[in-house]
Structure 1
Amino acid sequence: MAPESLQTEIVTLKQQLFDLQYAERLHHALFKIASLSHEELALTDLYQRVHEIVSQFIDAKNFFIGLLNEEEQTLTLPYFVDEQDVGDKDMTGQVLQLGQGLSSYVIRTKKPKLLTPDKITQLMTEGEIKEVLGSTDFKCWMGAPMITGGMLHGIIVVQSYAEQVKYNQQDLQFLDYVANHIAMAIESNINATQRREAQRHLAEQHRLLEQNNKMLTDTIAQLKKTQQELVQREKMASLGGLVAGIAHEINTPLGICVTGISHLAEEHKQLKADYVNGTLTEEALQEYLDEIEQGLKIISTNADRGAELVKSFKQVAVDQSSNEQRQINVRSYLDEILLSLKPKLKRLKHTIEIECEPQLSVMLNAGAISQVFSNLIMNSIIHGFDEIEQGRIKISIYSKNNNLVIHYADNGKGLAPESLNQLFEPFYTTKRGDGGSGLGTHLIYNLVHSSLKGSIKVNSELGKGLAYLIKIPLTH
């Protein structure tokens, strides 16, 4: 083989070896770059790794990454390494307004660019660029846009200040590949960061919700306990008022009985004295007998009245303080309830009409029914008939479809819609300044729904009175 041919073959083999080594280094670098998008690195670590990988393939002593804020048209430099821009000239972290510089040119065209001073001069002449930021004595400049999924994230740039370091189209293709994969890694990092932040936020929200739920549960339990205590107090207050009224009412017939007995005792003492002294006349005896007859009649009548009051009070009081079911005659029991309310009703001119079959007998919670009617009637008197001298209450009771149906209506002042909507709410009262507790109608609602397992509806208009419809399921 001739020396010239041998020399040519050696050159060819060296070129092939160089190409193989280049291809191997390129493959290795591209693999590392592609792997970055699958690693959850902090962005500062990511930029450092990219710089290291690029430096293994091309001269990249001067390297920076710019992130685009499309809305504000700015470019932030989170990573910046330059041989000449050091110290006060270090641009790391700076935010640059997009203009007509080299980086802006690449971002505007969205294409990788390989530029030399001559090419830059030509572009400036053509008006494509107007300025060069930072050091301007570089010999070669490459910039590639970071694009993924059609979205532009920023730019990656390398530049050389040495005459012997000149980039070529292969280097530009490599940088373009790197830029696209950096964009994927950045997007993956942002998504992972957002996902972690969302998970952290969700966990914090979950913790706060659990905490708030516990607080609400405790508050509701406390409110229910307080509500039960207040309802019980209202029941006891109602019972206390009943006791006071009945005691006052019983005092009258008992007083008459005491007075009558005292009078008869005096008459008996006088008769005995006349008899002992022998001065007893037939006329005096006859007067004594008449006095005895009249006195006994008065005492008997008032004793019966007192006994009736005691019996009524005893039954109603026992019922109101217990929750036991018993068989009652509805009409008779309602009469007993009205009798227990007599001390509060007798000085008023209001009338109460009752429509109920005399033989209607049902098994239910008698105490709850007593309290319901007592509160309904007293509410009509206190609220409905306020400033009304002669009001009328009509109560209709009948059995239908295994329910005890109660229609209760008065012709009082009635309620406006906004007041009607709040009628059964605890502590709502139209007599707030006059001692109203706001628990009367709430107690009625609670008794109908909880104790009697029934339902209650109300209807009213201002000036047209108020009406209730109560349905109570019957047990046998």
Structure 2
Amino acid sequence: MLLKLENLLLEVSKSDRIDLGDMREAEELILQSLLKGLSVKRAGIWMRDEKLDGIRCSLLIDLHQQARYEDLLLTRSQYPRYFAALDEERCISAEDALTHSATAEFAEGYLAPLGIASMLDMPIRHRGRMVGIVCCEHIGQPKHWSEDEMSFAAAMADLVGRAISAKERNDYARQLELTNQSLESLVEQRTASLEKTLVSLKQAQQQLVENEKMASLGSLVAGVAHEVNTPLGVAVTAASHCQLQLQELHRQVEDNKLTRSSLDNKLSSMDESLHLINQNLARAAELIQNFKKTAVDQHNLALTEFELGEYVRVVMSSLMPILKTKHISFELLNPLNIRMYSYPGALAQVLTNLVNNASQHAFHNGTNNVIQIQLLPRGDKEVELCFGDNGKGMPADIQKKVFEPFFTTKRGQGGSGLGLSICYNLVTAKLKGQMAVESTLGKGTLFRLILPLRVD
């Protein structure tokens, strides 16, 4: 390369204007150096416009007309041959630009009016991609571009790529500085916001827990109401039958047609009806009594002495309407005489939520669905209550999350994700016990509760 061009290239490459990150400063220096080194009157930097499939002028300096141009646009649809040459990402050296295959398209509307005879376009590369060109234009007679001149122009195009990298670094550093400046303020704002949110979440969580309790009770009320309707319906039917028999008996007496056999038949029929009435009203009374005890206990968390097996039986009896809807039978194993001094209301809430959870998640629609509760003494201070089902079971990843608040596999289908979380909190915090889950896919799930016999 000629010494003049080498010195000029060295001067530009050492200039801090290339690496300051100011593209306008860098473009000005590079274009002025090209004009001087190549002894041309026009030089410009054009960047690719991917969206419009063209190149857009960033800066063009015209010493001949003492003018500067920006934001000019050339598109592929206007100059297809020129863009086909650019696609090869190589130098376009047009000694006679008016006839060169890549630049002849510019002749009539651009080259001839401005007196441009020769063009030299060098690709600008950044991160391995061609992102634009440096275009040098000679006015006057056709100019032969020497190897030294082309090497000089290519080096200048590479410096444009270096300036683009500097701009990216500068923009990133500026953004990082702004981010660091605002970070402390942002942390303070977020901390205050998080503290406020935490208070709101605690209040919302408490409200959701209360809502879950009421939802469980509401489900229980609906089930009991449905279950009570059955014996009451039988009793009403039997009472109506008795009334009809009595009316028939009166009619026969008035008509003086009553016979011994007719009297015996009607008395026997009414006796059977009264027996059905007494039996079904007793069943309805038992359901209501068990429900009342369970409902009152769940909202009266007081320390009480009670017999565990009998209490479990009473609670589960009140929950039978829920189980019947899914064709689930219940078995109480080892109903030993185990006296406890604890919170029966909390235990009732735990059993209610476990039953609701099993009825919603454990079983497919079908028969032979069973829930078993087994009571196992552990020395003279603890008892183990095992609540198991023969349902579909749970995979290991779900077992790890079942006690987490708001975790549910029925999101959008009525599941709140609080039932088992409430169970765990009641067992560990209120009943001072431990709770764990064991499950095998296709074989069922077991909730194991270890409870102290006395809570002080």
| Larger radius of gyration between Structure 1 and Structure 2 | 1
1:372 match: secondary structure: helix
Note closer, same or farther for the CA distance 1:347–1:424 as it changes in structure 2 (3 Å cut).
closer
2:384 match: secondary structure: strand
Q: How far apart in 2 are the matches of 1:224 and 1:321? A: 21
Output one character per residue of 1:90-125: Cα deviation in whole Å (capped at 9) or x when no partner: xxxxxxxxxxxxxxxxxxxxxxxxxxxxxxxxxxxx
Question: Hey, what does 2:355 align to over in structure 1?
Answer: 377
Contact 2:323 / 2:329 at 8 angstroms: preserved in 1?
no
Contact 1:386 / 1:413 at 8 angstroms: preserved in 2?
yes
Question: Hey, what does 2:239 align to over in structure 1?
Answer: 261
Question: Hey, what does 1:398 align to over in structure 2?
Answer: 376
Q: Which amino acid aligns with 1:227?
A: Q
Contact 2:326 / 2:359 at 8 angstroms: preserved in 1?
no
Q: Which amino acid aligns with 1:442?
A: S
Question: Hey, what does 1:386 align to over in structure 2?
Answer: 364
Report how far residue 391 of structure 1 moved.
3.4
Q: How far apart in 2 are the matches of 1:394 and 1:299? A: 32
1:426 is the counterpart of 2:405: yes
Output one character per residue of 1:188-237: Cα deviation in whole Å (capped at 9) or x when no partner: xxxxxxxxxxxxx9xx96x8777655543332222121111111111101
Report how far residue 249 of structure 1 moved.
0.7
Note closer, same or farther for the CA distance 1:378–1:270 as it changes in structure 2 (3 Å cut).
same
1:465 is the counterpart of 2:427: no
Report how far residue 267 of structure 1 moved.
1.6
In structure 2, the gaps of 5 or more residues are: 1-179
**TM-score (normalised: structure 2):** 0.55
1:293 is the counterpart of 2:283: no
Contact 2:431 / 2:455 at 8 angstroms: preserved in 1?
no
1:338 is the counterpart of 2:355: no
Report how far residue 277 of structure 1 moved.
3.3
2:404 match: secondary structure: coil
Report how far residue 269 of structure 1 moved.
2.1
Note closer, same or farther for the CA distance 1:279–1:390 as it changes in structure 2 (3 Å cut).
closer
Report how far residue 384 of structure 1 moved.
1.9
Give identity over the alignment, percent.
Answer: 38
Report how far residue 294 of structure 1 moved.
0.8
Question: Hey, what does 1:157 align to over in structure 2?
Answer: none
1:365 is the counterpart of 2:343: yes
Contact 2:407 / 2:418 at 8 angstroms: preserved in 1?
yes
Correspondent of 1:323 among 292, 301, 320? 301
Q: How far apart in 1 are the matches of 2:455 and 2:431? A: 11
Note closer, same or farther for the CA distance 1:277–1:409 as it changes in structure 2 (3 Å cut).
closer
Report how far residue 469 of structure 1 moved.
2.0
> Superposed, which structure 2 residues align to 1:6-85 within 5 Å?
none
**TM-score (normalised: structure 1):** 0.53
1:363 match: secondary structure: strand
For these two proteins, the number of residue pairs brought into alignment is: 278
Question: Hey, what does 1:155 align to over in structure 2?
Answer: none
Q: How far apart in 2 are the matches of 1:385 and 1:279? A: 61
Q: How far apart in 2 are the matches of 1:445 and 1:228? A: 15
1:334 match: secondary structure: helix
Q: How far apart in 1 are the matches of 2:390 and 2:271? A: 47
2:242 match: secondary structure: helix
> Superposed, which structure 2 residues align to 1:227-246 within 5 Å?
227-246=205-224
Report how far residue 449 of structure 1 moved.
2.5
In structure 1, the gaps of 5 or more residues are: 1-200
Q: How far apart in 2 are the matches of 1:389 and 1:268? A: 43
Q: Which amino acid aligns with 1:356?
A: N
Note closer, same or farther for the CA distance 1:297–1:454 as it changes in structure 2 (3 Å cut).
same
2:203 match: secondary structure: helix
1:269 match: secondary structure: helix
Question: Hey, what does 2:455 align to over in structure 1?
Answer: 475
Report how far residue 381 of structure 1 moved.
2.8
> Superposed, which structure 2 residues align to 1:440-459 within 5 Å?
440-459=419-438
1:270 is the counterpart of 2:248: yes
1:436 is the counterpart of 2:412: no
Output one character per residue of 1:358-389: Cα deviation in whole Å (capped at 9) or x when no partner: 32121222121112112222322321223564
> Superposed, which structure 2 residues align to 1:122-133 within 5 Å?
none
Q: How far apart in 2 are the matches of 1:450 and 1:224? A: 17
Say which is worse superposed, 211-220 or 247-256, in terms of deviation: 211-220
Q: Which amino acid aligns with 1:250?
A: V
* CA RMSD after TM alignment: 2.9
Output one character per residue of 1:133-177: Cα deviation in whole Å (capped at 9) or x when no partner: xxxxxxxxxxxxxxxxxxxxxxxxxxxxxxxxxxxxxxxxxxxxx
Q: How far apart in 1 are the matches of 2:285 and 2:400? A: 44
